[in-house]
């Protein structure tokens, strides 16, 4: 039929596949090597991504590709996706950061690469992804560990996690072109694609606003802590910069011979709900409560831990003691037991019931001392 694409003969396909079968171990090694190289480069750049996966094309997949005749290949070397890497980022703008790194560290083949984010018409739907076809740079290919791969070509796809979700669902449904979608459903496809693009934009805005809040809240804590609501970000900033926290933490650390280290990422989130459960709603609430109970908190730490020496403590350890102290002031051991169970607090020695009864009694005995909460009385 005039204008139709010539089909490859079966023996031609089998010859190319047989050639590839002999080179498959090399391409499997090359694929793994490229993935490891991309991982190292991203780590060096400080770019966090959701996942990096790789695959060498199977012989069956290559045979299917050649047999479809969508594009004519004169030789195996013209097939550009024998090795494939997929980088899935958390945010859409991280795709550009990864792209910049790839263009710098690999030799990109422009005529075979495509940015589907730009190629897709504004009124069409489909997954947005960046596809690079590249080889190792001449400089890298001259290195001993890479020399064997100097003629190998790799396809690197980069997309955000939401773009990836669309592509995976679209592939599973079996519809990649608008012409294949039943007409009544095309609008729904377009709406879904648009929603994912909007979600990508909104996640980036939330990330940027949270970063700005983390900077601004430090100033707010120093100037007006009563106006700063207690949340993960504000609590982490308070732990890091407040003098009372630092002073009580240091006293606890000195008593047990421990070194104070920067609070880990999860620490503020771990402390947040226990503090809220005892009425701490603002940074000022926490500061006022801690200031009035410094001595009690320092002494109570030993009952919670019961160790003569500890190597390392996180900054903010005093707040991990403050909320049980506040709870004990209610005089209800059962409430302490329930709270420890709720927040998955495990004691190193003794039972929670024993500790609960003991701390309630100690709070009664220390009522006079709480009138002088300074560390000198600890």
User: Are 247 and 312 found together in one domain?
Assistant: yes
User: Are 191 and 70 found together in one domain?
Assistant: yes
- pLDDT at residue 269, rounded to an integer: 95
Residue 1 belongs to some domain of the structure: no
User: Are 61 and 178 found together in one domain?
Assistant: yes
pLDDT lower than 70: segments of the chain: 1-11, 116-128, 174-181, 308, 368-378
- pLDDT at residue 243, rounded to an integer: 96
In whole angstroms, what is the distance from residue 208 CA to residue 52 CA? 24
Last residue in a domain, options 182, 199, 216: 199
In whole angstroms, what is the distance from residue 8 CA to residue 40 CA? 41
User: Are 169 and 58 found together in one domain?
Assistant: yes
- 81: number of Cβ within 10 Å: 18
Last residue in a domain, options 199, 232, 255: 199
DSSP secondary structure letters along 185-244: HHHHHHHHHHHHHHHHHHHHHHHHHHHHHHHHHHHHHHH-GGGSB--HHHHHHHHHH-HH
Instruction: Please tell me the pTM assigned to this model.
Output: 0.76
User: Are 172 and 24 found together in one domain?
Assistant: yes
User: Are 228 and 173 found together in one domain?
Assistant: no
Q: Which long-range contacts (CB under 8 A, 24 or more apart) does 283-286 make?
A: 283/221, 283/225, 283/226, 283/228, 283/229, 283/230, 283/234, 283/235, 283/238, 284/225, 284/226, 284/228, 285/230, 286/230, 286/235, 286/238, 286/319, 286/322
- pLDDT at residue 320, rounded to an integer: 95
Integer CA distances (angstroms), 333 to 171, 194, 328, 339, in order: 57, 54, 7, 10
Decide: helix, strand or coil at residue 315.
coil
User: Are 195 and 237 found together in one domain?
Assistant: no
Residue 212 belongs to some domain of the structure: no
- pLDDT at residue 52, rounded to an integer: 97
Last residue in a domain, options 137, 164, 199: 199
Residue 209 belongs to some domain of the structure: no
Residue 215 belongs to some domain of the structure: no
Residue 213 belongs to some domain of the structure: no
What total of structural domains would you count in the chain?
A: 2
User: Are 61 and 158 found together in one domain?
Assistant: yes
User: Are 135 and 244 found together in one domain?
Assistant: no
CATH code (residue 77):
3.30.460.10
Which structural domain, as residue segments, surrounds residue 321? 224-377
User: Are 137 and 246 found together in one domain?
Assistant: no
User: Are 194 and 328 found together in one domain?
Assistant: no
């Amino acid at each position: 039929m005039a204008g139709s694409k010539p089909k490859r003969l079966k023996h031609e396909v089998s010859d190319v596949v047989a050639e590839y079968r002999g080179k498959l171990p090399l391409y499997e090694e090359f694929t793994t090597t490229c993935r490891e190289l991309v991982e190292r480069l991203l780590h060096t750049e400080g770019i966090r991504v959701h996942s990096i996966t790789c695959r060498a094309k199977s012989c069956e997949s290559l045979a299917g590709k050649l047999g479809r005749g969508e594009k004519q290949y004169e030789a195996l070397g013209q097939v550009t996706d024998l090795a494939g890497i997929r980088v899935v980022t958390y945010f859409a703008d991280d795709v550009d950061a990864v792209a910049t790194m790839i263009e710098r560290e690999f030799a990109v083949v422009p005529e075979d690469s495509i940015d589907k984010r730009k190629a897709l018409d504004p009124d069409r739907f489909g997954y947005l992804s960046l596809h690079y076809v590249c080889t190792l740079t001449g400089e890298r290919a001259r290195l001993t560990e890479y020399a064997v791969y100097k003629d190998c070509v790799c396809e690197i796809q980069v997309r955000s996690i939401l773009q990836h979700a669309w592509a995976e669902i679209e592939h599973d449904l079996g519809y990649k072109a608008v012409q294949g979608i039943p007409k009544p459903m095309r609008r729904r496809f377009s709406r879904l694609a648009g929603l994912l693009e909007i979600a990508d934009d909104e996640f980036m805005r939330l990330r940027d606003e949270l970063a700005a809040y983390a900077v601004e809240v430090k100033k707010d804590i120093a100037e007006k802590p009563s106006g700063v609501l207690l949340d993960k970000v504000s609590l982490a900033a308070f732990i890091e910069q407040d003098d009372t926290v630092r002073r009580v933490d240091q006293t606890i650390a000195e008593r047990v011979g421990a070194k104070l280290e920067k609070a880990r990422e999860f620490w503020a989130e771990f402390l947040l709900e226990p503090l809220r459960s005892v009425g701490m709603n603002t940074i000022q609430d926490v500061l006022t409560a801690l200031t009035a109970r410094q001595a009690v908190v320092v002494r109570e730490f030993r009952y919670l831990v019961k160790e003569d020496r500890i190597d390392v403590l996180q900054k903010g350890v005093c707040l991990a003691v403050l909320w049980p102290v506040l709870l004990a002031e209610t005089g209800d051991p059962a409430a302490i037991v329930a709270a420890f169970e709720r927040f998955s607090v495990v004691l190193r020695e003794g039972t929670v019931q024993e500790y609960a009864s003991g701390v309630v009694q100690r709070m009664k005995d220390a009522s006079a001392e709480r009138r002088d909460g300074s560390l000198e009385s600890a």
